[in-house]
Amino acid sequence: MHPEDPTTASFTPTKEIAPEPKIDPHHLGAHITETGVAFSVYAHQATAVELCLVTPDSDNNYRENRYRLRGPENGIWHGHIPGIRPGQIYGYRAYGPWNPDAGLFYNPQKILLDPYAKAITGTPHLGPRLYAHQVNDDLRPATHELKPDPLDSLPDAALGVVVNTNAFPVNDRPHTPWRNTVIYEAHVKGFTRTLPGIPPELQGTYAGLAHPVAIQYLRDLGVTAIELLPIHAKFTEPFLQQRGAVNYWGYSTLSYFAPEPSYATERAQSLGPQAVLDEVRGMVSLLHLAGIEVILDVVYNHTAEGGLHGTTLSLRGLDPQRYYVWNHGCPNQMVDYTGCGNSMDFTSTQVVGLMLDSLRYWAGEVGIDGFRFDLGVTLGRNRDQYAVRHPSFVGMATDPILAGCKLIAEPWDIGPNGWQTGNFPTPFADWNDRYRDAIRGFWLTDGSAQMHGRHAHGPHELATRISGSADLFASIVPELDRGPGSSINFVCAHDGFTLADLVSYNHKHNEANGENNRDGSDNNHSWNHEYEGHVLRGRQYSNDPKVVEQVVQVAPLRLRNLRNMWGTLAISAGTPMVLAGDEFGNTQNGNNNAYCVDSPLSWLDWNWLPWQNALHETARYLLQLRAKHPVMRPDCFASGTPVQGDKLADLSWYDRDGIPLTPGAWHDPRNRVMQMLRSGTRWNDVDLLVMINGTMDQVEINPPVARSRVFNLMWDSSWPNPTTRSEESPDSLGVSGYDIDLADSLAPTGTEGDSASGGGLAAEVGLVPGAGVDLTGPATELPVTVRGMTSKMSAMSMRIFFAEIPDSPCEDSQIDLLNVLGKLRNRA
């Protein structure tokens, strides 16, 4: 029993020794046996470790029974307590030297969370009790020389709870191949917090994510895997708590085994930790049943305990020298490769084992399909050097449970040699920041440069990224030769601008974070299109003609560039990842680092305007098109030559006149109009032609010579909505009745007089109004293109075509065109 006065008598090791465990003590954590529970914990430098079985009473006080564990055996303390079952609350008290100069902070006044606890009682309560050393009211060291704190931390600490980790079976994994994978990065709370159709009691919870409304939305969009921001139990950094903020994203891990309880429903939280774990496993099971994989963002690079003067919650009190990286030359200084105060030491077998055990638990017992490793370079460090054959990676690659999971690296940290994109071994995939910057650069920063008379870039970087980034993911080193699927292609992620903000802001606006806009990156590769802020979130309804004119001048190109980036992602070799909400233009009002904002700013806003509905249809259409056509998602690198049995090169690039690009053209900033032709033979699919105009001018373009002279237009980024296939209009922008020309001139330049006009072709093939194929407009609006028929493309736009093979191919391109148009008429 602990009185209200927080000062307690100093603990001394109890004489009651726990019975010998009946299982191998190397199985760390709490394990239920037939007669009780076996406990094992690693604390190599401790002189004694006690298991504390805790029972709360009605007055919120605690009764604590302590058992001295046996050991150490290879640093492990262990024991078996008969008669206890799931639901038991427990922690550890570790005895040992107090020597801050050597990085040792043993203080048995601090009850410690089991690093292997599968569930926790809740979040620790920040205060002086959580510090092993004495602190003042500001939680800073009270003395220059750190002194042990006499306060018992039990009332404020998070404790472990014994739970049944297999209360019910989880549905089998979907095992979606990489080539078919589309990843959707989302926050458990933010995704469903205001999603219509989700019952209020389920919004923002694990159960809400598994609700049929949420699942149907993901399936309709074309998502095959949802990548969740961290759901490991977290503890918000003290500096945030002191100003009333939270670590909303969750990159401040308290436990690598226990799920974050605050994302569970209130009912589950009231029922206790077992119900919280069951809700997580139930979520995974229902997503599996719908064919959706679950990938967890995991943070093994650092913990919530902070730097040298941080809290003592778990690892710091058990064996800080084995778990964290310290300066060998100055053993009381922690080395920080992460920017978060501490770094886990992956030269320690104990740290590698902790990570592997955690991964196996989440994959094997919770049913998780894959993991995205935050600051993944830290996991492969031999201190200052990164090692591609690090034991961490070898362990994952050879583990029978983990080798079949999707393993994704964030391939950088802030330490020496910290950028390693492309240098993770098989079976890892990497977040491709080169892809992100190339797509943003081509469509946005280069667009801005042209607008202001500065030089833009040529097509080399864009073409390399669209083609799968062979410079990063192809290698003569076997473990680095991974194929294009290992490139996680993304334009936006949780840290950075949303897609809509990317085209609306030149500068970050992070005032809501409370750090005077100092946090967050300044390297955004964004373009506000000459107006800082959004114009289609209310300004279009203004009664001021000048305001409406501004909307009309800015919005069309912004929206087109949103669609350009979606189109580029859809035709790129690699695995696409989209940020939740980017499919409908979600905004964070220019905040590119909303890590500590838990409010509508960081939740998805499901109140869509008309243009957002149209953008959603565009994203949905492009993902469905990609799913149906393997030629849009090649699973091997192209050689630029025909594959066996094909007459067409697997991949070729052309200029605006349909002439192959010369070596000098790749880096020529004047060459921003290009065409990509990808053969579909390898996949028994159609051939793919992509036209790209990266200039601020309308251009004439002529398709290249190909297997088929006729290509069916599948998508044009100038269309606000692929279901209507019309240009931007006052109605699509919500400014109906405003008399202004929104579109570039689309007048055609046919090569053979009237035969290139819609009316002549319509008459020749016998099309009539209502046939479903509109040939009454100019030739550039035809649903096909052929070699020799030059058409005009809008500034900063792209088009996707599929090859159409005429029923009776001949040498006359005009006859072939008419043949295909007749087929389209019959389909309609």
Across all residues in the chain, what is the average pLDDT? 90
Residue 480 has pLDDT above 90, yes or no: no
> Residue 488 in contact with residue 183, Cβ under 8 Å?
yes
Question: Any idea what DSSP says for residue 69?
Answer: P
Structural domain that includes position 394: 178-307+345-628
pLDDT 10s digits, 51-83: 999 998 877 788 999 999 999 999 999 999 999
CB atoms within 10 A of CB 665: 18
Share of the chain above pLDDT 90, in %: 79
Instruction: Supply the pLDDT for residue 9.
Output: 56
Work out the average pLDDT over 264-289. 98
Question: How many independent structural domains does the chain possess?
Answer: 1
In Å, the largest CA–CA distance within the chain is: 102
pLDDT 10s digits, 595-654: 999 999 999 999 999 999 999 999 999 999 999 999 999 999 999 999 988 989 999 999
Q: What is the 3-state secondary structure (H, E, C) of 597-623?
A: CCCCCCCCCCCCCHHHHHHHHHHHHHH
- Within 13 A of 502's CA, how many CA atoms are on the CB side? 33
Work out the average pLDDT over 380-392. 96
| Residue predicted with more confidence, 670 or 222 | 222
Residue 21 has pLDDT above 80, yes or no: no
> Residue 527 in contact with residue 448, Cβ under 8 Å?
yes
Query: What pTM was estimated for this model as a whole?
Result: 0.92
Work out the average pLDDT over 647-662. 95
| Residue predicted with more confidence, 355 or 752 | 355
- Answer yes or no: is 711 within a domain: no
DSSP of 410-446, one letter per residue? --B-SSTT-B-TT-PPTTEEEE-HHHHHHHHIIIIIH
Instruction: Supply the pLDDT for residue 518.
Output: 95
Residue 8 has pLDDT above 70, yes or no: no
Residue 108 has pLDDT above 50, yes or no: yes
> Residue 251 in contact with residue 298, Cβ under 8 Å?
no
Residue 739 has pLDDT above 90, yes or no: no
Q: Tell me, what CATH number does 569's domain have?
A: 3.20.20.80
Work out the average pLDDT over 650-668. 95
- Answer yes or no: is 726 within a domain: no
Work out the average pLDDT over 772-799. 66
> Residue 809 in contact with residue 793, Cβ under 8 Å?
no
How far apart, in whole angstroms, are the C-alpha atoms of residue 799 and residue 692? 7
- Answer yes or no: is 795 within a domain: no
- Answer yes or no: is 267 within a domain: yes
pLDDT 10s digits, 423-469: 999 999 999 999 999 999 999 999 999 999 998 999 999 999 999 99
Amino acid at 13: P
| Residue predicted with more confidence, 14 or 789 | 14
Instruction: Supply the pLDDT for residue 18.
Output: 76
The catalytic site residues sit at 374, 410
pLDDT bracket for residue 10 (50, 70, 90)? confident
How far apart, in whole angstroms, are the C-alpha atoms of residue 153 and residue 130? 6
Residue 342 has pLDDT above 60, yes or no: yes
- Answer yes or no: is 815 within a domain: no
Residue 228 has pLDDT above 90, yes or no: yes
How far apart, in whole angstroms, are the C-alpha atoms of residue 748 and residue 759? 13
- Answer yes or no: is 207 within a domain: yes
> Residue 319 in contact with residue 44, Cβ under 8 Å?
yes
Which sign, positive or negative, has the C-alpha torsion 124, 127, 129, 132? positive
pLDDT bracket for residue 811 (50, 70, 90)? low
The closest alpha carbon to 689, from 637, 745, 642, 651, belongs to: 651
- Answer yes or no: is 302 within a domain: yes
Q: Which of 233-242, 325-334, 363-372, 392-401 has the lowest mean pLDDT?
A: 325-334
Work out the average pLDDT over 280-300. 98
> Residue 474 in contact with residue 628, Cβ under 8 Å?
no
How far apart, in whole angstroms, are the C-alpha atoms of residue 689 and residue 706? 9
Please, which residues have CB within 8 angstroms of residue 379's CB and are 6 or more apart in sequence? 300, 301, 346, 355, 373, 390, 392, 393
- Answer yes or no: is 695 within a domain: no
